[in-house]
Amino acid sequence: MRIVLVMSIGHTLLGLLESGPCHGYDLKRSFDERFGRDRALAYGQVYSTMSRLLKNGLVEIDGLESGGGPERKRYAITDAGVTDVEQWLGRPETPEPYLQSTLYTKVVLALLTGRDAADILDTQRAEHLTMMRELTRRKIDGDLGDRLICDHALFHLEADLRWLELTAARLGELTLEIRK
């Protein structure tokens, strides 16, 4: 089971740099620590992102160390970079309304083909609750960060579930509508 964090990696790295210059490797570690959870950031992705930021003038090279290991650049955020982070944080995310849901499609198809739509809903409901149980368990055992992330997912799942319940209660009405 994965929780996919949908986020802008460029803005996140910039934001992490704002607390002080640091090396690419440290940036990756710090990102993984806070937001990695299920999937660590690939090292290559850090470098490609940093070079894009460098090109856009949002970061600058603060120092260069060589010898021992790989080349180590120290990055620092520029004023333009700080402005960019500020703008990103201040901009609301567009709510995603999921207007075309697979579940809805399944229910309609079941009704059209004369299958038991209630069964489909209940099966889905059980599946949702199973995942919610899993998340709840992780939430109980995890730290505050885990809890916030799990709750985010739980609330979304709960919203689905409430939709499932509501739809179950409206199946009769829906059948009439569809078979008109």
Partner 1 sequence: MTDSLLSGHDLHKTYGSTPALAGAEFTIRSGEVVAIMGPSGSGKSTLLHCLAGIVRPDSGTIRYDGRDLTAMSDGGRSALRRSDFGFVFQFGQLVPELTCLENVALPLRLNAVKRKEAEARGLEWMERLEVADLARKRPGEISGGQGQRIAVARALVIRPRVVFADEPTGALDSLNGERVMQLLIGAARSTDAAIVLVTHEARIAAYSDREIVVRDGRSRDMARAA
Interacting residue ranges for partner 1, rule: CB under 8 A: 119, 122-123, 125-130, 132-133, 135-136, 140, 151, 154-155, 157-158, 161-162, 165, 169
Phi/psi at 77 (5° precision): -85, 140
In the bound complex, what is the minimum distance in angstroms from residue 160's beta carbon to partner 1? Answer: 9
CB-facing half-sphere around the CA of 103: CA atoms within 13 A? 22
In the bound complex, what is the minimum distance in angstroms from residue 143's beta carbon to partner 1? Answer: 14
Which residues lie below 8 Å from residue 81, measured CB to CB, with a gap of 6+? 14, 17, 18, 53, 57, 58, 59
CA dihedral (98, 100, 101, 102) positive or negative: negative
In the bound complex, what is the minimum distance in angstroms from residue 5's beta carbon to partner 1? Answer: 21
In the bound complex, what is the minimum distance in angstroms from residue 26's beta carbon to partner 1? Answer: 35
Alpha-carbon span 89 to 12, nearest angstrom = 10
Is 75:58 a contact under the CB 8 Å cutoff?
Answer: no
- What's the token pair of residue 178? 């569809």
- Residue closer to partner 1 (CB basis): 26 or 146: 146
- Residue closer to partner 1 (CB basis): 80 or 166: 166
In the bound complex, what is the minimum distance in angstroms from residue 171's beta carbon to partner 1? Answer: 11
- Residue closer to partner 1 (CB basis): 80 or 140: 140
- Residue closer to partner 1 (CB basis): 39 or 133: 133
- Residue closer to partner 1 (CB basis): 169 or 176: 169
Edge-first strand order for the sheet with 72-77 is 22-23, 72-77, 59-65
Is 26:63 a contact under the CB 8 Å cutoff?
Answer: no
